[in-house]
Amino acid sequence: MRELLMTVPCHRIPERCLHFKGKPMPLCTRCFAMLLGYLFTPIALAFHMVVPLWVPIILAVPLVIDGFTQKWKWRKSSNPTRFITGILFGIGQSLFISIMIWSIVQFFI
């Protein structure tokens, strides 16, 4: 399992990772939360969730703001903030995937 996680593009900075039994996880907090958010995809597809396109975009905005304000050194982000923005982004991408899949299905029906 660890080898599979190592294929995910992530900076893996130890202080930005959640720690389990005193050791940093193989993914940073934000990437881990995004992967958790992706688990929402089967749920979105199973319930035919088609939301307006602005919903996934709005869910991505907090991550973009957090990432860029941290990159520009305007402030320092925290792991709880990284987790929240990451999971929102992952859910937003799941909804976007659901929208695209159901749009394609409707096109061919």
pLDDT (tens digit per residue) in 40-94 = 888 888 888 778 999 999 999 999 999 999 999 999 999 999 999 999 999 999 9
pTM confidence score: 0.85
How many whole angstroms separate alpha carbon 101 and alpha carbon 75? 38
For residue 46, is it within any domain? yes
Look at the chain and report how many structural domains it folds into: 1
Give tens-digit pLDDT for 33-49. Answer: 999 999 988 888 888 87
For residue 8, is it within any domain? no
For 65, the enclosing helix (H) or strand (E) is helix 54-71
For residue 23, the cross-strand partners are 20
Q: Residue 85 is part of which domain span?
A: 29-108
For residue 17, is it within any domain? no
Residue 23 neighbours by CB under 8 Å, 6+ apart: none
Instruction: Please give the DSSP secondary-structure letter assigned to residue 48.
Output: T
For residue 23, is it within any domain? no
For residue 18, the cross-strand partners are none
For residue 49, is it within any domain? yes
For residue 6, is it within any domain? no
User: What backbone torsions phi and psi does residue 45 show, to the nearest 5 degrees?
Assistant: -70, -40
CA distances from 83 to 38, 59, 97 (A): 13, 13, 21
For residue 14, is it within any domain? no
